[in-house]
Structure 1
Amino acid sequence: MMTNLFTIFDPSTNILSLSLNWLSTLLGLFIIPISFWLIPTRLFFFWNLVSNFLHKEFKMLIGPNYSNGSTFILISLFSLILMNNFMGLYPYIFTSTSHLSMTLTLALPLWFTFMIFGWINNTQHMFIHLVPQGTPSMLMSFMVIIETISNLIRPGTLAVRLMANMIAGHLLITLLSSMNLNVPSSISMVLILTMILLLTLEAAVSVIQAYVFTILSTLYSSEVI
């Protein structure tokens, strides 16, 4: 029995005391047929189209200091988040992106790498970012504190945004499905239709949140180059 509503997100599947929930992060790789990699299919062409679009988008956001291959890690990040978001929509599959331990693991190393690169290679540029252009002299020290705090909370906001959006839709679907057991059949049909619409919305949110996470990471990287 659930102790609270959020218990549905607790890792619980295990065999011989070994937690298997986090294997869902790789489950998508196992269901991709081998022919996807060997034979050009419609799915292959569609994913190539998506990858090319993302490459152009990230290249434009990084700016003139773009170097070959720098968008590869960002496209891989988008693919990983998108796959995990979609896998969480299937029944009885653990949603890894609804946990802060997963989202923070993605956001924190990226942000930390950007900071190390920026402060080592572009120290003066990083100091300039702490004082926005046009700031009055008497407010400069205050703005440095504000900009430093906003910079430090970036990985947290990235992680919490993705986690909260994944949890919100799943909670709504869980609440509606639990209500469906104790209502008349006429209302039950309305609830089922609402759940289908929510599932469609969750599929859209899965794509949007993967895109937002990657775009913000790209913008953060463009500030330190």
Structure 2
Amino acid sequence: MTMNLFTIFDPSTSLKLSFNWISLLMPMILIPKMYWLTPSKIQSIFNLINMKMFNEYKNLSNKYFTNIFMFNKLMMFILLLNFMSLMPYIFNSTSHMSVTMSMSLPIWMTLMLYGWIKKFNMMLYHMVPKNTPTLLMPLMVLIETISNLIRPLTLSIRMSANMIAGHLLMSLISNQFYNNMNLFMMILLIQTLLMILEMSVNCIQAYVFSTLSILYSNEI
């Protein structure tokens, strides 16, 4: 039973090629383009979300505008991938560590390399918080080092685990539909509530990923 449930996250192969990963390119098609002078409803909603997130990241970030644009687009990219995974027959790419780690690891490595090369003294200063007792300084350095090293893992595992948990729960409940046809209405209601919950989780995970990334960049 468990093996059959987890196979929904396995990319199926055809002609020894995994075509499910093409879903990573679909956000480029879904992002609306400015073809008309009067924007459409989709374009207006997309612009509204972009402006709201840009203003919020501008308050969080103390860096350049290019930094804000990068994390804003990263948030929109993850959000579109998460929402597409709720559609039928579309591969859930964000549930794989290979996708989430490929986004978190380059960001973390870039910040660490820039910090230790360009701002070496500031990186050492962050290792020991202000007013730390002398006896606790070696322990604080160890704790801060471990926390910095596990940041890409926490970013990637958090999103993958939440995406897997939501899809597995919906799969478990949908399997009960075939066994208990008399409970159709109750299962349909639970699935609807779970779908709404999963949509909110998708938004939260995209927001958390980009917000934590921009907060990590503020420390450099």
Give the TM-score normalised by the residue count of structure 1.
0.92
User: Is the 2:127–2:144 contact (alpha carbons within 8 Å) kept by the matching residues of 1?
Assistant: yes
In structure 2, the partner of 1:25 is: 24
Between the aligned residues of both structures, percent identity stands at 48
User: Which 10-residue stretch deviates more, 99-108 or 42-51?
Assistant: 42-51
SS in 2 for 1:70: helix
Structure 1 residue 32: Cα displacement: 5.3
| Residue 103 (str. 1) matches residue 100 (str. 2) | yes
| Residue 219 (str. 1) matches residue 215 (str. 2) | yes
Query: Partners in 2 of 1:2 and 1:23 — Cα distance?
Result: 27
What are structure 2's unaligned runs of at least 5 residues? none
Structure 1 residue 120: Cα displacement: 1.4
Q: Equivalent residues in 2 for 1:32-51 (5 A)?
A: 36-39=33-36, 40-51=39-50
Structure 1 residue 189: Cα displacement: 1.0
In structure 2, the partner of 1:121 is: 118
What are structure 1's unaligned runs of at least 5 residues? none
| Residue 135 (str. 1) matches residue 143 (str. 2) | no
Query: Partners in 2 of 1:172 and 1:136 — Cα distance?
Result: 47
SS in 1 for 2:214: helix
Of 56, 75, 78, the residue aligned with 1:78 is 75
SS in 2 for 1:219: helix
Amino acid of the structure 2 residue aligned with 1:6? F
SS in 2 for 1:167: helix
Amino acid of the structure 2 residue aligned with 1:56? N
With over 3 angstroms needed to count, the CA separation of the structure-2 counterparts of 1:143 and 1:32, relative to structure 1, is: closer
| Residue 152 (str. 1) matches residue 154 (str. 2) | no
User: Is the 1:2–1:8 contact (alpha carbons within 8 Å) kept by the matching residues of 2?
Assistant: no
| Residue 60 (str. 1) matches residue 59 (str. 2) | yes
Structure 1 residue 30: Cα displacement: 3.0
With over 3 angstroms needed to count, the CA separation of the structure-2 counterparts of 1:126 and 1:200, relative to structure 1, is: same
Query: Partners in 1 of 2:64 and 2:16 — Cα distance?
Result: 46
Give the TM-score normalised by the residue count of structure 2.
0.94
SS in 1 for 2:137: helix
In the comparison of the two structures, how many residue pairs are matched?
218
Query: Partners in 2 of 1:68 and 1:106 — Cα distance?
Result: 20
Query: Partners in 2 of 1:136 and 1:205 — Cα distance?
Result: 41
Structure 1 residue 162: Cα displacement: 0.4
In structure 2, the partner of 1:170 is: 167
Query: Partners in 1 of 2:151 and 2:31 — Cα distance?
Result: 34
| Residue 93 (str. 1) matches residue 74 (str. 2) | no
In structure 1, the partner of 2:201 is: 205
CA RMSD, aligned part only? 1.6
